[in-house]
Structure 1
């Protein structure tokens, strides 16, 4: 028993130490508030109110004031049960109250006269709250839609376009309410997730969490509250999943293969074969309690392996051109292109102030006149392998096709701990690692014609509350 307890404490300490950095954040929690009344509609002051997270068992206790009102701020998004007790009344319980990210939800409770040992339970499952406390126009994309809706590439932020007034942008964040996408704010667990603008109207995000690590997110499109600054568009506020009192795990594999796709109309019309495409996105997650009702963990891994066809056509020099023999050099109309010897430059006797040169005999540059560096560069050009589109210019006389390879890995981890009902904390650490992009080299040597070769990438994101 001591061994298991020690391991749990070590796990908690590691997560706390990794991310324990003071960072200011926007609000991403929610608030439950309401009024307790009796069956006649009169307010009930001094009633005991217990608010319990139905997944973690964490409770918050408060009391209704003289006007029968209660309020519980700083609650994690989730599903709650509200229990109200008062001497002379039956206990009232309102279960399945869903609280979304940054939502202020009203949950009124009615107490019936009777014994306190009796409880009247009402379920709020399937109901939605009408926003009456904030002028902000927003929509919540909940976990069910995030997980169930098909996503090409599994980018959760793509679902922001389900909200009115949001359209895809050229970067990794959308246009919101007519503003440039570079003026929108995107947060993960209250921490800004936007990089410096690296191009006009293009905003790149620092990190994109796995779909299976996202609890929900809200899209605020108008009348955004003052806590969000430096924006002229809207706000996407995402929260990640946390562990619960029950162990849960999932495993997934998403496979896309061009063998299952139809060839499009234009490719068929050109008599070409469709390009190859294969994508495998796989992973899983596990979450549960470290100490029941106290400490919880959640870890998610996702891997991505993708191969994309990369056909390309180029123009390369003929073998005789490499030797300096341009006797067959022509323009598009078949007229010879004469090459002149720069060492024969002399004054033009027929035009004062002008100069003339002699052509190379037979349009052939002598071997000893070819620079050694240029001669070495020639070895990096492949030989023509297809008929050119123009026999005079030899345009598009080389074709090659291969596969661009992209790989990615990411981990989202989170630990939540409840010190007391007034002191709760969590640490989230997300990491994209060993990401690589290996474009196909059409020349099969160092002189790659259209890319800079393999690249690697990674990203880190930390939140502490």
Structure 2
């Protein structure tokens, strides 16, 4: 079965020819913009001042001249590193502004008041990484230092939106299938969230529940969680938008290593019923039949290894940055003592251990083709499998119920930025998303499923399976034109998505399911 999205392409073709005229605030999702306004000591605008913007981390230089209104706009600036702005004009003291950091999709404004030779110039900066928003976009920005300093369980990037109080976990949390946190805002659905990665769409279009390939936490330069009033460039959604910009290399070699271990043998397997009831709740009574509290999935052993490295290949020209994560988790569940003996393991051990493994990789290459053209290439890999997802085996579900869930996805992206003229910038992006399988359910031993309720309930056998894929290609192009304080953008995006495979989520029964009367207690071989 193959399904092609029936409505995206027509809508996108319309968008491709749409003309968008917006204030400076509506910038590209993965870059920033800077406006430099030049005036003299009387407040009059200064035309013809030379403005130079230098990225101190990569050596990238952009030079423009202030126009009739005394301002110059520099769009498409990388978020990596800090900027130094130099303003020079014959007869005036030149002025340098250092340490400017930019935010994704926003504009920093630098107002420079030049004075005659020998005097001291004045500089006013607003709208940078430490400033306030100058547009109605509502959301929260998280930069790399904030992300590094925040303890995040499991290092799941999809947990970060919960740091914005406008978001909450979606029902079911999403751990059943993709081991990620689902989130919603307002009255929205978990399937309406859209994800933008380095300016391109990164949705898992087959089910629209999360991104098709998870990004390692160490690869994120900046994440913005947007609830509403965001630019149309974040696209295709009736709900919130998640904008992620990855790190790029610089002239300095840098990296990090991280190891986390949670040994299972050190975890308490049972707890006392003491303080079961809060002292302030006088109507609460501890059940007489409750002798202990036994947590689920104990022991739960978790180990995670993460590493990042970035630096120059050719100084001031070619840079790389790579991040990898590996997660190893063993969760133990216990079978019910009410299960008939013939359903239990031969050794009588009631413990059943599930194994979760995930490998993430993100690699990025930035290259300066010419002084006015840059190229970014990025690849992201996400591979994981779980042989007891959401504790399918445990309680009255016998070990023969076990099945494996797996996902194999990768994405590739190419961004080309070209400064056509001092006031004309073109950004072209191509992205390919491959989820094959995007969902794979495999029974460890394919067999008919038998269930019985009543005083001696049980479920044995596993007959469900599925193998689904999703492929998506996207091309987008944006042309930005500026003149003084005026800024216009023309752009469009075309996406083609194909999905198919066999079965459904969470698997289609192949050999059938039989349910026996709940009044019978006969051995399995004698059930009727």
TM-score when normalising by structure 1:
0.69
CA distance 1:181–1:382, shift in 2 (3 Å): closer
1:277 to 267, 277, 300: 300
CA distance 1:129–1:448, shift in 2 (3 Å): same
> For residues 112 and 263 of structure 1, what CA distance do their matches in structure 2 show?
73
Q: Give the CA deviation at 1:296.
A: 0.3
Q: Which residue of 2 aligns with 1:413?
A: 363
Count residues in correspondence.
359
CA distance 1:261–1:47, shift in 2 (3 Å): farther
Structure 1 residue ranges, 4+ long, deviating more than 6 angstroms after superposition: 118-127, 266-269, 440-443
> For residues 26 and 127 of structure 1, what CA distance do their matches in structure 2 show?
16
Q: Which residue of 2 aligns with 1:99?
A: 102
> For residues 70 and 131 of structure 1, what CA distance do their matches in structure 2 show?
20
Q: Which residue of 2 aligns with 1:288?
A: 311
Query: Alignment partner of 2:155: what SS?
Result: coil
Q: Give the CA deviation at 1:423.
A: 1.3
> For residues 383 and 157 of structure 1, what CA distance do their matches in structure 2 show?
38
Q: Give the CA deviation at 1:262.
A: 5.8
> For residues 59 and 260 of structure 1, what CA distance do their matches in structure 2 show?
55
Query: Alignment partner of 1:206: what SS?
Result: coil
> For residues 415 and 307 of structure 1, what CA distance do their matches in structure 2 show?
35
Deviations 1:237-281 (A, max 9, x none): 001110000011211101223555566756786436662111111
Query: Alignment partner of 1:271: what SS?
Result: coil
Q: Which residue of 1 aligns with 2:55?
A: 53
> For residues 260 and 131 of structure 2, what CA distance do their matches in structure 1 show?
35
> For residues 128 and 409 of structure 2, what CA distance do their matches in structure 1 show?
38
Query: Alignment partner of 2:162: what SS?
Result: helix
1:422 maps to 2:372: yes
Query: Alignment partner of 2:234: what SS?
Result: coil
Report 1:234-245 matches (<5 A). Answer: 234-245=240-251
1:436 to 385, 406, 421: 385
Query: Alignment partner of 2:153: what SS?
Result: coil
Instruction: Work out which of the two has the higher radius of gyration on C-alpha atoms and give 1 or 2.
Output: 1
TM-score when normalising by structure 2:
0.62
> For residues 224 and 130 of structure 1, what CA distance do their matches in structure 2 show?
16
Decide whether the 8 Å contact of 2:271 with 2:293 is kept in 1. no
Deviations 1:13-57 (A, max 9, x none): xxxxxxxxxxx9973211111311223322211111111112111
CA distance 1:191–1:266, shift in 2 (3 Å): farther
Across the aligned residues of Structure 1 and Structure 2, the Cα RMSD in angstroms comes to 3.2
Q: Which residue of 1 aligns with 2:136?
A: 135
Q: Which residue of 1 aligns with 2:220?
A: 214
Q: Give the CA deviation at 1:310.
A: 1.3
> For residues 425 and 215 of structure 1, what CA distance do their matches in structure 2 show?
18
> For residues 402 and 312 of structure 1, what CA distance do their matches in structure 2 show?
7
Decide whether the 8 Å contact of 1:316 with 1:383 is kept in 2. no
Q: Which residue of 1 aligns with 2:29?
A: 27
Query: Alignment partner of 1:212: what SS?
Result: helix
Report the structure, 1 or 2, having the larger helix content. 1
Q: Which residue of 1 aligns with 2:449?
A: none
Identify the range of structure 1 (29-38 vs 296-305) with the bigger mean alpha-carbon deviation.
29-38
Q: Which residue of 2 aligns with 1:112?
A: 115
Decide whether the 8 Å contact of 2:260 with 2:305 is kept in 1. yes
1:301 to 301, 324, 335: 324
CA distance 1:188–1:290, shift in 2 (3 Å): same
Decide whether the 8 Å contact of 1:289 with 1:297 is kept in 2. yes
1:250 maps to 2:250: no
2:211 to 195, 205, 211: 205
Query: Alignment partner of 2:233: what SS?
Result: coil
Q: Which residue of 2 aligns with 1:159?
A: 160
Q: Which residue of 2 aligns with 1:458?
A: 408
Q: Give the CA deviation at 1:94.
A: 1.3
> For residues 73 and 431 of structure 1, what CA distance do their matches in structure 2 show?
30
> For residues 407 and 230 of structure 1, what CA distance do their matches in structure 2 show?
32
Query: Alignment partner of 1:159: what SS?
Result: helix
CA distance 1:27–1:422, shift in 2 (3 Å): farther
Decide whether the 8 Å contact of 2:28 with 2:104 is kept in 1. no
1:146 maps to 2:156: no
Q: Which residue of 1 aligns with 2:504?
A: none
Q: Which residue of 1 aligns with 2:38?
A: 36
